[in-house]
Amino acid sequence: MALTAPLFASMSFDYLIAGGGTAGLAVGARLIENPSVKVGVIEAGINHIDDSKILTPLDLFLLFNNPQHDWAYNSTPQVNLNDWVVTQARGKGLGGSSSINFQALTFASRNDIDDWKRLGNDGWSYNDLVPYYKKFEDYQPPPSDVAKDASAEYINASANGDGGPIRGSFAPFYNDIQKAWTPTYQNLGIGADGDMRDGIALGGYTNRMSQNQEDHTRSYAGNRYYKPNAREPGLKLPTEARVNNIIFNKKTNGGFLTAIGLNFTVNGKHYIVNTKKEVIISAGTIESPKILELSGIGNPQILDKYGVPVLLANKAVGENLQDHPQLGVTNQVNDGVITQDQYFNKTYQDAARILYETNRTGPLTSVVTQHAPLSWAQMLSPDKKNRPQDMVNQYLSGPYNSSVVACLSSMNWSNSG
């Protein structure tokens, strides 16, 4: 029987999840490990988990600004960027942004994660999260030739996951620049300082990708969390259904709001589905605060402006969005050196496509495969270690102070050197 919107709305659930993306599908799959639990997941995008453009690693560039795969949000004009409008790519469909990301499988250092606990978030220290890091991953060691090209000797296999849903493996193809990456950092004395899964993510290294080693296709929430559970009786998931707001019990429980359901839309018609236990909002960085605000949770000044009744005042909702600062770097190389620029050549593209489709290797298997998280102490000479603070002091009173501070803050800069 097809899962229609009226049928879904008539069902009884223990948990409702708004968003069938990276986290929503993982949470849903974990919850139904208890066979007595009923979970409903509502996803606004479509089901395209077998789409070859998603599965082929380097085809991700065909997904950006594609209305079937990318919500392609635009920011308001940014005053501190000369009114530049910034596009925010967000995955549209089952798997969310894990269906369009660069597949880089990287991990933060212990100190960065422990900062979460130091901020008052019990249960979110590095040691608390290690078991879950291992639980989600299935590390697949590379063949010897790939390990050599990837300079993968830094890997500590025992620190990585075994048997989890998301595959972690190395791409089988590296161009000349990619092969030179890790040796270059080693020659500079800032090579990988062990496996990042040991808690120290420093130095230049070739990272794993969320990729199935047997066929070098994308491994993501859609095909690794949802697909194996799609026919489980405890999981129901309508697609092309957009959550509008949370339904709350009109009676307060000791002054607290109690979520009892979700209002969602399919083909312009509204439906309400109820839950006996919890509503989980997992709609992504942009849609999650939007749902909260449309539900009456947010800054009263904003909610009043748009006629949304305030149920819970919280000025933090929808604020403080931060993104990675990104700069383009161009390198001049000698004739004959193979780089990704060759991919813009039609003949090279066609040859790469044939290579991938026939034996699952070649340039289409490889996306972002190199990283180099570095401290200021590694990047700056002793006589320049105060330069970041000098930059802040110089521009603090200028017209672009907010963007400078935000940029330095997002790089976790501190005055400790």
Average pLDDT over residues 300-327: 92
387 membership: H or E segment, kind and range: helix 387-395
Which residue positions form the known binding site? 243
Report the pLDDT value the prediction gives residue 213, as an integer from 0 to 100.
95
Task: Specify the 3-state DSSP secondary structure of 259.
Answer: strand
Burial of residue 275 (CB within 10 Å: 0-12, 13-18, 19+) is: buried
Residues of the chain above pLDDT 90, percent: 74
Average pLDDT over residues 94-102: 97
Which residue positions form the known binding site for FAD? 243
Residues of the chain above pLDDT 70, percent: 93
Q: Which residues pair with 168 in a beta bridge?
A: 139
Per-residue pLDDT of 125-161, as tens digits, reads 999 999 999 999 999 999 999 999 999 999 999 999 9
| Backbone φ, ψ for residue 376 (5° rounding) | -60, -35
| Domain extents in the chain | 1-103+219-323, 104-209+337-374, 381-410
Q: With bands split at pLDDT 50, 70 and 90, how would you rate the model's confidence at 394?
A: confident
Average pLDDT over residues 67-79: 93
Task: Specify the 3-state DSSP secondary structure of 32.
Answer: coil
Average pLDDT across the chain, whole number: 90
Average pLDDT over residues 167-171: 96
Task: Specify the 3-state DSSP secondary structure of 27.
Answer: helix
The CATH class that applies to domain 1-103+219-323 reads: alpha beta
CATH number of 104-209+337-374, picked from 3.60.20.10, 3.30.460.10, 3.30.1360.20, 3.30.560.10: 3.30.560.10
Under 8 Å between Cβ of 369 and 178: yes
Per-residue pLDDT of 344-357, as tens digits, reads 889 999 999 999 99
Q: How far apart are CA 330 and CA 309, in angstroms?
A: 51
Average pLDDT over residues 391-406: 58
Average pLDDT over residues 42-49: 96
Does the CA dihedral 108-112-113-114 come out positive or negative? positive
Amino acid, single-letter form, for residue 30: R
DSSP 80: G
DSSP per residue, 44-67: SS---TT-HHHHSGGGGGGTTT-T
**pTM here?**
0.89
